[in-house]
């Protein structure tokens, strides 16, 4: 019988093989499920705003949606050329991958410095406080991105498995596409999960709503088009514009939405609230942000 160390080593090597293959993929764990899942295939950008008119128009794949979609940072869906569950199947599929050049995305140089921190937060908030005092706003969600190097920078397999160990009841993922680059993260904030007959949505307060015979295409469309106030502020339109002008760095896919669309008749979407982006020579870690009222 293989020891826990041997099992860890094999699993780590499987993740690293996927990372180094140059193929576009998402490897993830659903909350509470010890078995990983893999979606691998061609990643395609979706037009903005994303719109799915009805269930039959909802494609299958892994969705990666940014905080604020742009032409250079679009909504992406990885098509399920491969969709499987469990370490043995994922290992078998990864061993079939031919090696591709791991290209750098045009987003690799979007982050230039660590902002905002300490005095930056206070300076930015003082500007927003004027909007609150005038009764135009109620809250603001600020965040920060810290760039640097860590000992495990080149060992993403071990980092993913450690993240899964620390957050077993959260959605944990690692993803690579040529457009977005490599991302990894975890989230306890489920937005939507269900199928064609029944879906569950969760509000910011944690209230769960069950919808029967849902129009999943319309649910996903509404979710992506209506900004999440908890990662911008209230009102969302004013807060998002303030963030764009004053936060000081592009959030990219941080505080966006990610998860599965119509994979084995299930859709599960989460808020990308705790994540990092792998970059040449290091990584950018995105903090969960601070809500100021």
- The number of angstroms, rounded, from the C-alpha of 235 to the middle of its chain's C-alpha atoms is 23
Tens of pLDDT along 169-182? 999 999 999 999 99
Task: Report how far residue 292's alpha carbon sits from residue 242's, in angstroms, rounded to the nearest whole number.
Answer: 13
- The number of angstroms, rounded, from the C-alpha of 198 to the middle of its chain's C-alpha atoms is 24
Residues 65 and 253 sit within 8 Å (Cβ to Cβ) = yes
Q: What is the pTM of this model?
A: 0.91
Shortest CA distance to 41 belongs to which of 86, 75, 74, 78?
A: 78
Set out the domains of the chain in order of their start, with CATH numbers.
4-292 (3.60.120.10)
* pLDDT value for 99: 74
Task: Report how far residue 139's alpha carbon sits from residue 287's, in angstroms, rounded to the nearest whole number.
Answer: 18
Helix axes 4-21, 156-166, angle to 10 degrees: 120
Q: How confident is the model at residue 227 (pLDDT cuts 50, 70, 90)?
A: confident
Task: Report how far residue 186's alpha carbon sits from residue 201's, in angstroms, rounded to the nearest whole number.
Answer: 19
* pLDDT value for 154: 64
Sign of CA dihedral 29, 189, 223, 245: negative
Task: Report how far residue 28's alpha carbon sits from residue 33's, in angstroms, rounded to the nearest whole number.
Answer: 10
Measured torsion, CA atoms of residues 152, 155, 160, 162, in degrees rounded to the nearest 10: -50
């Amino acid at each position: 019988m293989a020891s826990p160390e041997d099992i860890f080593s094999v699993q780590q090597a499987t993740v690293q093989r996927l990372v180094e293959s140059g193929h576009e993929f998402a490897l993830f764990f659903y909350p509470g499920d010890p078995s990983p899942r893999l979606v691998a295939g061609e990643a395609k950008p979706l037009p903005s705003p994303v719109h799915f008119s009805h269930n039959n128009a909802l494609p299958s794949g892994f969705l990666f949606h940014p905080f604020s979609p742009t032409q250079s940072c679009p909504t992406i869906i990885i098509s399920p050329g491969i969709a499987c569950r469990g370490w043995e199947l994922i290992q078998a599929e990864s061993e079939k991958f031919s090696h591709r050049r791991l290209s750098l995305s045009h987003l690799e140089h979007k982050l230039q410095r660590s902002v905002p921190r300490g005095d930056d937060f206070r300076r930015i908030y003082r500007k927003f406080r004027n909007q609150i005092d005038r009764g135009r706003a109620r809250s603001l969600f600020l965040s920060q991105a810290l760039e640097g190097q860590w000992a495990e920078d080149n060992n993403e397999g071990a980092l993913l498995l450690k993240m899964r160990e620390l957050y077993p009841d959260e959605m944990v993922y690692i993803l690579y596409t040529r457009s977005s680059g490599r991302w990894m993260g975890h989230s306890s904030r489920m937005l939507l999960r269900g199928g064609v007959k029944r879906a569950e949505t969760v509000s910011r307060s944690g209230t769960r709503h069950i919808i029967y015979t849902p129009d999943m295409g319309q649910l996903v469309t509404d979710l992506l088009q209506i900004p999440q106030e908890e990662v911008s502020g209230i009102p969302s339109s004013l807060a998002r514009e303030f963030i764009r002008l004053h936060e000081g760095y592009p959030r990219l896919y941080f505080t966006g939405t990610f998860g599965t669309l119509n994979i084995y008749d299930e859709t599960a979407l989460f808020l990308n609230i705790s994540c990092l982006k792998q970059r040449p020579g290091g990584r950018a870690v995105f903090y969960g942000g601070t809500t100021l009222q």
